[in-house]
Structure 1
Amino acid sequence: MDFAEQMFKKYDQDKSGSLQMQEVYDCLQSLGTKFSQKDIQIIVQAFDDNKNGVLDYNEFEQLVYILQNINNISIESVLFYKADSDKNGVIDVNEFMNIMKSLQVQMPDEKLKNFAIQMGAATDGIGFENFTNLITKMKVLM
């Protein structure tokens, strides 16, 4: 049994086969992260691919993989690595659109696309620093 599976089984307290927000919070706190309840809500939104409000094992495993492979654990860095689906170190227009939709950002697609292009997603891609600055500013809106 790998680490993600051990943690999932330990924190799936109601044995539902998924982790609710409080269970995710408790799990990540036990790992020494400093995520707030609001951060956990954002993380669950980002990783909840089927949009059922909880994390199933595969969704949780993605989160654990990212947490194990980044140096500076923050909500912004977790979201960057979730968004960077092709793992090339930058966020392109489609990746930007996907992460914004998963975070349920209420903005028309065309505006989101234009915003991504203005940030450089259509040329060199949105780098880590620009993306994390954006997420920091957007957290007040989420």
Structure 2
Amino acid sequence: MASYRPPILVSRIKFDNYDSDHSGYLELNELKDILYDLGMRTGDADLVGALVALDKAKDGRVSYTEFKEWYREREKRIDALTLRDECQRVLLQAIQFFKYYDKDQSGQIDREEFAPMYDRLKREWKAIGAEVGTLDEVLKSFDKNGDDKISLEEFVQWLVNAGSICAVTKAT
């Protein structure tokens, strides 16, 4: 019989995934990677600014508590999700899928980058008998802010809405 494991916050998954040295803190290089995956491409000055803003203890690194507080403020709709093991796996696969098509590593998929993604999705959807809209219709369904680009947050939110990532709202 499988033992129960409590749900894990998305912020914890993100933090642990990028704490590459398992120190319990994000250093500058780790912070840069996680910000990119959150769709925030930063230059060196912006990165240092982000570190200063997040580092409440002023020790030159970001603890999970500091990161979680910031992440909650910035991404309430995603951080409000808790994920079980299978959902965690799907979320991590979705992030890798997104990064694969984000060829310029801008943190967003533009129309040109979306075309091959659309072709792959169209093949997969047709294989299961799903209706498939035009490239413009599908792009618009992902792109909630109307900038003709898909951020990682928009992509994940679309997957949640489509039921591809199981989500349970935290009890308050």
State the TM-score, normalized to the length of structure 1.
0.46
Greater relative CO (CA pairs within 8 A, separation 6+):
2
State the TM-score, normalized to the length of structure 2.
0.38
